[in-house]
Amino acid sequence: MDVNSYEIEELVKKVLGELSGVKSPNRSVSNQAIPTKAHVAYLTALEKFEVKEVDVPPVGDDDILVKVEGCGICGTDAHEFRKDPFGLIPVVLGHEGTGEIIKMGKNVKLDSAGKPLNIGDKVVTCMIFKDNPDITMFDLNKQNVGGADVYGLLKDDDPNNHLKGWFSDYILIKGGSTVFNVSDLDLESRILIEPCAVLIHAVERAKTTGILRFNSRVVVQGVGPIGLICVAVLRTLGIENICAVDGNNKRLEFAKKMGATKTVNFTEYKGIEALSGAVKDAFDGHLADFAFQCTGAPGGHSNIYKFIRNGGGLCELGFFINGGDATINPHFDICSKEITIVGSWVYTLRDYATTFDFLKRSQAIGLPMKELITHKFPLAEINEAMQVNLRQEGFKIAIVNK
């Protein structure tokens, strides 16, 4: 095994420290060189990433340095790439990332679920709580991540640390962040954790209505990556009567592979009455018991009520940014039908932990989760990767480092 001079020096320090009773200030791995430089993909202008070399910051006693293995491209990344709605430019994006611990501070012992952390472990991050005492690992659904920071959506305002997003070859996870040991999952599964957590949370929100059951007729409207994962989560829970609604036949066909029993292409129907009739036909003459609205289109929200029976339920999760106002008639759409509505916004810590088991279970029942990742690009080709994502040429696009 090759060992560089830096690692020899660290090993000697550790041994001497142990002999003298002084603990080593940090731990580093023997088969990974600890870098002094890193490459990050800066979004410097609209639709323009520049890969730049930056210094690797010191690893503090509570910090973790991670060698990035891969990161998915999210719809939020695409919005920031095109319009900068969050006002973050210049910024290092990427929040669906995962990688291997190569160095960690002396105080780091456990992940956010109490699982031991060691050099070489594979990890993901969830959020940065900023010392919010109201959020803990097992405080179910008290708060989601709405008030927390997320790696990959942080301003580049620290001259000593530019490793704040997963579109990089290294990332520094600061003390106070959440981090999970996911060494028992493969790379593709780890890249899918963050978007899958969004749907775990949505389905948990839906279950609070008391309407979503094993025998429910369920509509999933919009089967991009989020909607496709929604179908998979429902199928993994044992719900088998699922109708996917979208305008893209490629997505609809994949929805069937993920567990949808019927599909409706809305481009083939003129007007909402014809479209809702097609959904009803898919359920043998019945409207849906429950619906998940996964598009960010106001028109999609307006239409979804027409697919739901009296006394049914709706989970709206498609609007992660302000997509505009939707027009509904509260009398016909909500009151007279007594629709129960829940909104869903990202996830909680517990949803992250649940997601790990979902990914294992979905694989066990044969759902092709990893086929969601249709394109992999190196960091140097991130601009092309973003354009492929915007053109909807695949499902999930990922940046994967060698």
Chain centroid to CA 134: 23
Contact 375, 382 (CB under 8 A): no
Q: Do domains 5-184+370-400 and 196-343 have the same CATH topology?
A: no
Domain ranges of the chain: 5-184+370-400, 196-343
User: Measuring CA to CA, which residue among 79, 53, 129, 55 is closest to residue 320?
Assistant: 79
- The β-bridge relationship of strands 37-45 and 48-55 is antiparallel
Residue type for 351, please?
D
The CATH class, in words, for 5-184+370-400 is: alpha beta
pTM: 0.88
Is 196-343 CATH 3.40.190.10?
Answer: no
What are the tokens at 170? 């290294």
In order along its 402 residues, the chain shows pLDDT tens digits of 344 444 444 454 454 444 444 444 566 554 567 899 999 999 999 999 999 999 999 999 999 999 999 999 999 999 999 999 889 999 999 999 999 999 999 999 999 889 999 999 999 998 776 555 555 555 544 556 666 788 999 999 999 999 999 999 999 999 988 899 999 999 999 999 999 999 999 999 999 999 999 999 999 999 999 999 999 999 999 999 999 999 999 999 999 999 999 999 999 999 999 999 999 999 999 999 999 999 999 999 999 999 999 999 999 999 888 889 999 999 999 999 999 999 998 888 888 889 999 999 999 999 999 999 999 999 999 999 999 999 999 999 999 998
Please name the amino acid found at residue 258.
M
